Amino acid sequence: MRLGVLDVGSNTVHLLVVDAHPGARPLPAHSHKEELRLAELLDDAGAVRPDGVGRVIGVVHETLQAAEDKGVEELLPFATSAVREATNADEVLARVKDETGVELQVLTGEEEARLTFLAARRWFGWSAGKLLVLDIGGGSLEIAYGLDEEPDAAVSLPLGAGRLTAAWLPGDPPTAESVRALRRHVRAQIARTVGEFSRFGAPDHVVATSKTFKQLARIGGAARSADGLYVQRELKRQSLESWVPRLAGMTADERAELPGVSEGRAGQLLAGALVAEGAMDLFGVETVEICPWALREGIILRRLDHMPPE
């Protein structure tokens, strides 16, 4: 069947269309993205502003049309931290349902971590052993660890690249003082969780997902996305540590000139780099391998697991 996953995230609304059936690898058929930047559409009280709600509804309408055009039989719509943590989340969800007919499933941070872990496990297989999976989104950082398809530990921290940029890095480029303050904040948050994972022992393989990690790997010399899904891509901590001060001295426009960095993500790349560097350092990780699959694929795989075999 043709499945569609509608992901209302902090940065974008993303429709991923796949051809899938139980026991087979989902085959990507279409991808449709619309910029949202929901973190920039909040008022001082943390509520999505009326224009922001209108923007969400408009973008959902557009993606529904794209899903219809591509022959999607079943749509799996969900929302992550930006909607989840908005003080008027219930109102936003009700408006979206009333005006589009789409009932967004709001995932908890732990559910995000667990579904992303499932996707990474299926991608790398059992031979990867104990996996540590890191995922930096627009609103949160997810960390999960385990040997099976369900992680032994999974946490979500409010350390998304978009959220941190808006709250901690107002300048362009930001001041050295604000960068240092954010670095301290990020590391203090991550350090609180390290003990929860270290009791399980060292991982056999460390995996990173998300656009932030992909862009950091690309500017560090990893292969282009055009080279295909199956090219191995890595991000080394040594490379990341050399790039952080360089990114801190650049404007968003200058970062957008770097290989693989999109204009829409360039402004938040520094915050994402500080989170990636902090996580790799505090968990004692020298290299992460980039996983092409993440949360959306995890949702598809979970849905397929609950379908009867043909």
Strand ranges (DSSP E) for 189-310?
205-209, 234-236, 287-290
What does the DSSP assignment read for 239-268? HHHHHHHHHHTS-HHHHTTSTT--HHHHTT
Report residue 42's pLDDT band, with 50, 70 and 90 as the boundaries: confident
What does the DSSP assignment read for 86-101? -TTHHHHHHHHHHHH-
- pLDDT per residue over 5-14, tens digit each? 999 988 889 9
% pLDDT > 70, the chain: 99
% pLDDT > 90, the chain: 82
The pTM of the full predicted model, rounded to 2 decimals, is 0.94
CA quadruple 240, 246, 248, 251: dihedral sign: negative
Position of tokens 């224009």?
A: 51
Asked whether residue 310 carries a pLDDT value surpassing 70, the answer given is no
- Residues 32-49, mean pLDDT to the nearest whole number: 86
What pLDDT is attached to residue 306? 81
What pLDDT is attached to residue 37? 81
Asked whether residue 307 carries a pLDDT value surpassing 90, the answer given is no
What pLDDT is attached to residue 255? 98
Residues in a beta bridge with 141: 136, 157
